[in-house]
Structure 1
Amino acid sequence: MTGAPDRPRVLTELDGDVWRITLDRPEAGNALDPAMAAELGAALTGRPAQARTVLLLGNGARFCVGGDVQAFAANADPGAFVGQLARDWHEVIRLLVGCPVPVVAGVHGAVAGAGVGLIGACDVVVCGSSTKIRPAYGAIGFSPDGGTSWALTHALGAPRALALMLTDGALTAAEAHQAGLVARLVEDDEVHTAAAALAHAVAAGPVRAMVRTRELVRQAAVRTLDEQLDEEARLIARSAADPEGREGVRAFVGKRAPDFRGAADQVAGERAG
């Protein structure tokens, strides 16, 4: 089942200062097709300026089962179709990785194929305890896309990632948590609530410093210690000069809670001026 082509695949809502993006193709397990890739990309680029965190969720019983295999089968030129879809989807992954604010995801049910790369591009993933995570490419004779090979190799290491993908295996939520592919486990019926609460908590923090932290963590594996130290020095200097950093230091000295949202307003005012 592929669902009605004219029905939106992605829903968006501004919830305070959290930009909530929900995959909404539940009848197809939120399977990826060209419309979903386009709509998810538009949702990310259309993030309102006041949104300090992105929250990614999925409606229905499954978070995302990967590509729409029915659409692959129906296409007269599957190589061209799948190749273009992969390129479009990769632009979505790049938007997530480069998002100017932190990205929280809440996943449940099943995460398969390109859905694995999707959660690998998010900053913090809250996962339902019965969720199954399966690359699934081998089952249809495909190699991975969507950053799935990158996410699994970074989380599991090359030998375990290969064993998983070459045997068409699956990870339980507990195994994914132990490996670091997901950050937090909750009961299945608490995923959306817990992920939303986390997104709001992150939005109250120093999001510009968080994005710098994300950059450091993601680059740590490919830099030498000397290179990482140089980059840490550069970014902490930027943070200290930033309104967020100044507010954090003033709050610490004054023994009060910092107002990082107010610091963000100062940045916006400086830009407008």
Structure 2
Amino acid sequence: MTEDRPAVLTETDGDIWRITLDRPETGNALTPALAAELAAALAARPERTRVVLLLANGPRFCVGGDVRSFAGADDPGAFVGQLAHDWHEVVRTVLSCPVPVVAGVQGAVAGAGVGLVGACDLVVCARTTTIRPAYGAIGFSPDGGTSWALARSLGAPRALDLMLTNGSLTAAEAHLTGLVARLVEDDELRAATEQVAREIAAGPIRAMVRTRALVRGAATRTFGEQLDDEAQLIAESAADPEGREGVRAFVEKRAPDFRSAR
């Protein structure tokens, strides 16, 4: 990769803010530059866009950290620790994004790439994709939210089995356990992911973000706390221009125009 070549590409496509990892020759391996550029791309989302679409060029979505850079570091602990810190800011930004985040993944998802996928709201996965934590192979413990994403989707016993034995998941297994939302044929991935993003962009974005907060928090709240949160957020949704438009459209027997509900 030349010094002036970006690791991340961005593009506005109507309602969609498309972010594409573009280091295919390295499997989109995580480096300080890629982390910084992805953080900047998320921060630069135009306010008028209603969905973030995360894609990757090349046969592999993200193979995790660039292990060669770890080997060349004078102080591996400091280097990897700083990279993990920077990557965690990226993952936090995805989790708190004010619009839904849709990802399309293919080929290989490994290491910190697993945590990134787990932070997205809806993941479309090519059928031949393999998902592997891979940390144990180099003597590392997980980062990037990978342990959170796997424990959340697989449960602790299966997550530990996967990580302690340096195992992998097929796309079908990842779909069955809920790590990814949809499976498609490899040659349909880009089109299918784009279509999902467009469908979501036409919907009530702020209500979707409230829904995300409820779903993400359900595992750590009591039932009573969840009911309280639901009551608060549905009231906010009803008062929101989106909710008002949705109710009017239902009464008037027409399709709602959530894009105009500001």
- Deviation at residue 4 of structure 1 after TM alignment: 2.8
- Deviation at residue 65 of structure 1 after TM alignment: 0.2
State TM-score, norm by structure 2.
Answer: 0.99
* Partner residue of 2:148 out of 147, 150, 164: 150
**Residue type at the aligned position of 2:44:** G
* Partner residue of 1:59 out of 53, 57, 60: 57
1:86-105 Cα shifts (integer Å, max 9, x gaps): 00000000000000000000
**How far apart in 2 are the matches of 1:152 and 1:18?**
28
**How far apart in 2 are the matches of 1:132 and 1:68?**
18
Matches within 5 A, 1:114-153: 114-153=112-151
Counterpart for residue 228 of structure 1: 226
**How far apart in 1 are the matches of 2:68 and 2:154?**
30
Counterpart for residue 94 of structure 2: 96
**Structure 2 unaligned regions, length at least 5:** none
Matches within 5 A, 1:183-194: 183-194=181-192
**How far apart in 2 are the matches of 1:104 and 1:23?**
14
**How far apart in 1 are the matches of 2:134 and 2:3?**
25
**Residue type at the aligned position of 2:98:** P
State the secondary structure of the residue aligned to 2:53: strand
**Residue type at the aligned position of 2:233:** L
**How far apart in 2 are the matches of 1:33 and 1:65?**
11
**How far apart in 2 are the matches of 1:241 and 1:56?**
31
Counterpart for residue 171 of structure 2: 173
**How far apart in 1 are the matches of 2:260 and 2:49?**
13
Task: Give % identity.
Answer: 75
**How far apart in 1 are the matches of 2:169 and 2:87?**
23
- Deviation at residue 5 of structure 1 after TM alignment: 3.7
**How far apart in 1 are the matches of 2:32 and 2:190?**
26
State the secondary structure of the residue aligned to 2:220: coil
**Residue type at the aligned position of 2:211:** T
Counterpart for residue 162 of structure 1: 160
RMSD of Structure 2 on Structure 1 (CA) = 0.6
Q: Does 1:244 align with 2:242?
A: yes
**How far apart in 1 are the matches of 2:200 and 2:173?**
25
Structure 1 residue ranges, 4+ long, deviating more than 4 angstroms after superposition: none
State the secondary structure of the residue aligned to 1:133: strand
Counterpart for residue 270 of structure 1: none
Counterpart for residue 8 of structure 2: 10
**How far apart in 1 are the matches of 2:146 and 2:127?**
21
> Residues 162, 5 of structure 1: CA spacing in aligned structure 2 closer, same or farther, 3 A cutoff?
farther
**How far apart in 2 are the matches of 1:41 and 1:32?**
12
- Number of positions where the alignment pairs a residue of Structure 1 with one of Structure 2: 262
**Residue type at the aligned position of 1:154:** R
1:117-143 Cα shifts (integer Å, max 9, x gaps): 000000000000000000000000000
**How far apart in 1 are the matches of 2:84 and 2:233?**
33
Counterpart for residue 43 of structure 2: 45
State the secondary structure of the residue aligned to 1:101: coil
State the secondary structure of the residue aligned to 2:54: strand
**How far apart in 1 are the matches of 2:5 and 2:55?**
18
**How far apart in 1 are the matches of 2:95 and 2:43?**
12
- Deviation at residue 249 of structure 1 after TM alignment: 0.1
**How far apart in 1 are the matches of 2:53 and 2:253?**
31
Counterpart for residue 260 of structure 1: 258
1:57-87 Cα shifts (integer Å, max 9, x gaps): 0000100000000111111111100000000
1:124-173 Cα shifts (integer Å, max 9, x gaps): 00000000000000000000000000000000000000000000000000
- Deviation at residue 6 of structure 1 after TM alignment: 3.2
